[in-house]
């Protein structure tokens, strides 16, 4: 038995090459990728994001917090 389970096992099968632990680390880093809000908003206070056919509004509040609404 390899000692892999859950995501590790799925990644090892999906990747099919190299060390499955390296593939898992790559998957984890993709999940943790950080995007700066300014790069999305580009100077605006509100943007519309389309996801799975639905529209969402991401806006900056008066207290400089982010709020996402449908």
The CATH number given to whatever domain includes residue 49 is: 2.10.70.10
pLDDT tens for residues 2-32?
Answer: 455 555 454 444 544 567 666 666 666 667 7
1 and 29 in a single domain? The answer is yes
pLDDT band at 44 (very low <50, low <70, confident <90, very high): very high
| pLDDT tops 60 at residue 1 | no
Q: Are residues 19 and 46 in the same domain?
A: no
Q: Are residues 27 and 2 in the same domain?
A: yes
CA nearest to 56, candidates 64, 42, 46? 46
Domain limits at 25? 1-33
pTM: 0.54
Q: Are residues 5 and 28 in the same domain?
A: yes
- Spatial separation of the C-alpha atoms in residues 12 and 18, rounded to whole Å: 8
Domains of the chain: total: 2
What pLDDT does 55 receive? 98
- pLDDT at position 63: 97
């Amino acid at each position: 038995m390899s000692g892999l389970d859950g995501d590790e096992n799925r990644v090892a099968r999906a990747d099919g090459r190299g060390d499955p632990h390296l593939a898992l680390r790559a998957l984890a880093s993709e999940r943790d990728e950080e995007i700066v809000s300014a790069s999305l908003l580009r100077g605006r206070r509100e943007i519309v994001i389309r996801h799975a056919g639905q529209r969402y509004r991401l806006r900056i509040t008066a207290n400089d917090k982010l709020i996402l609404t449908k």
